[in-house]
A = this chain, B = another copy of it.
Amino acid sequence: MSSPALAPTELEITAELCQKLLHYMVMMRELEDRIELKLYRQGKIVGGCYTGRGQEAIPVGSAILTGPDDYIAPSHRDMGAFLIRGITPREILAQYLGRIGGPTGGRDGNMHMGCARRHVLPIISSIGASIPVATGIALAMKYRGERSVVFNYWGDGATSRGDWHEGLNFAAVQKLPIVFFCNNNLYAYSTPIEKQMLVENVADRAPSYGIPAEIVDGNDVLAIYEASARGAAHARSGDGPYLIECKTFRMSGHSAHDPADYVPDYLRQEWSRKDPILRLQKHMVERDWATEADFKKVRGEILAEIDEAVEWALAQPYPDPATVTDNVYESS
């Protein structure tokens, strides 16, 4: 983990920071593109596959603020957070390919991974279930007197689950150090937000729990970075949870097999103009922090790293079938 926890006063948007953010966002985009648009179509990916295309700013702008003692509990759209926590493209690809060498060693697939050592809660497929669990991690932090914080991520769809309600309420009542990130991408699978809730914003629900909340442009990585710093400072200071709603859009189907015909064209077009990577690049160019050539170079390096990682992952062995019953219990 390279980034130690920042106090919000130290916050400054520097060229260096932007380069780092850009790196992870491009890495996430390219790695997911490689997985979904190439390996999946080539039939090499085992099972389904979800991406966070268009939502890269959210995991990257937030997780970059976490220190080694902090914990993240990501959603299936947050590959950038995995990368920042040190899970490598090699490991991620091995996971997608069902090989040894991925974080679950082939026991689980695609984004359903995590890493206890690097404080990434493995994704729980039951949508909403991560909220009580993340809350429990925050409880343990408080219990142990740590000054660390949990970043917990979920989508608009998760807010309809009972677990979401129970988790937010408990975190609030217990004043736990946790920041909730909602990626409100307007859809849960094919279900548009207006069929999910009558309020306009997920953040409008935070007052129910006495949790302070803010709404940010989910495609503006710097806005997310700043909001995350506020949220983390709040949580670390013992004031309890904080909620950040990131307005964004899923620039893909729900998963690789979903053409998302149910999304009206105008929405897709509107959001394609708001690409978070282009936006950060524009910011950097305007400040003379980088040129198109630099971006090309960054992308080239990343593609090379991915090429190498794909090769590595494809060379990894599958798990030994004889191990299928190992590790159900500590003693087995």
Contacts and interface: CB of A to CB of B under 8 A. Distances in A.
> This chain: how many copies in the complex?
2
A142 to B, nearest CB: 16
Contact of A208 (B173, B195, B204): B204
A3 interface: no
A188 B196 CA distance: 29
A interface, over-half SS: helix
A330 B120 CA distance: 50
A207 B204 contact: yes
A196 B207 CA distance: 15
Nearest to A165: B165
Interface string A158-175: 001111111001001100
A13 interface: no
Contacts of A161: 162, 166
A198 B204 contact: no
Interface in A198-222: 198-199, 204-205, 207-210
Nearest to A132: B162
Interface size class of A (residues with CB under 8 A): 20 to 34
A46 interface: no
A162 B165 CA distance: 6
Given A161-B162, A205-B208, 18 more contacts: A162-B164, A162-B165, A162-B166, A165-B165, A165-B166, A169-B196, A172-B198, A173-B195, A173-B197, A173-B198, A197-B209, A198-B209, A199-B207, A199-B208, A204-B207, A204-B208, A207-B208, A208-B208
Interface of A: 160-166, 169, 172-173, 195-199, 204-205, 207-210
20 contacts: A160-B166, A160-B169, A161-B162, A161-B166, A162-B162, A162-B164, A162-B165, A162-B166, A165-B165, A165-B166, A169-B197, A173-B196, A173-B197, A197-B210, A198-B209, A199-B208, A199-B210, A205-B208, A207-B207, A208-B208
